[in-house]
Amino acid sequence: MNSSSISDNFKVAAVQMVSSTSVDDNLETAMTLIDQAVSRGAELVVLPEYFCFLGRRDSDKLKMRENPGTGAIQEFLLAQASRHKIWLVGGTLPLACPDAGRIYNASLVYSPDGAQVARYDKVHLFSFRRGAEAYDEAVSIRPGDNRPQSFFAPCGRVGMAICYDLRFPEFFRALGDVNLIVMPAAFTYTTGKAHWEVLVRARAVENQCYVLASAQGGTHENGRRTWGHSMLVDPWGEIVAVLAEGPGVVSGAVNAQRLLEVRQSLPALKHRTM
């Protein structure tokens, strides 16, 4: 499927949240924001990384893990996709893995009929230390093995990525030709302020596609502060819509004509030699 045969103006939305330690509260918030996105005409909705739970300690994720195909979080995602007849990228949720002390940080995609059509387990695990601020995802997360992943929607081929993947351009190149990249994220305030926008826009420019990034954005119950700035960026690197902070929805459209114009005027993808 190429840019000339896709839906002309496929409406998409990114949900931004400030998730807490309560799964029930987070699902309620996600449902309200999905409703808002659908009311704006969204046909594909992306939830942020850790939309369902952001605990006080790394080990808290282990208590929330689900087995593939069963559990309250997966049932919620399936129900929302079916209810609204939308493509739903379920942010990330903790899924069981072979390591008893870790989980997969998994992103699941549901089609409008409620079928799970794709799964991507995060492969790049974030580690950062500056003064008192420190993170190490490898403590509780096992890197995935199923890379790269994509699925087909009415806007064409959609590539999947999660948060820290954003810093690895070779990962996105390995996706091949895509019309849209969806990226749930929870960038820290420190790293997001420095690099988020430039990296999101760079990935759109390099791959001549739209990027829909759905972020956590605010000060959380556990004291962590995330950068937010969920955004939709077009294949020329222009920001279509952005939300700086707080819960809300960013919406726009994947426009087939815009994809075609950018790729014809600057056919960089055809000029690759490696």
* Residues belonging to the active site: 49, 122, 163
3-state helix, strand, coil in the chain (%, to 5): 30, 30, 40
Contacts of 106 (CB under 8 A, 6+ apart): 92, 93, 94, 95, 119, 120, 121, 122, 144
CB 247 within 8 A of CB 9: no
Using CA atoms, how far apart are residues 250 and 33, in angstroms rounded to an integer? 10
Between CA 93 and CA 106 the distance in angstroms is: 5
Phi, psi angles (nearest 5°) of residue 108: -115, 140
Helix (H, G, I), strand (E, B) or coil at 58: coil
From the list 189, 138, 23, the residue with the least C-alpha distance to 91 is 23
Q: DSSP assignment, residue 268?
A: G
In angstroms, the CA 21 to CA 57 distance is 10
* Pairing between β-strand 180-185 and β-strand 156-160 as defined by DSSP bridges: parallel
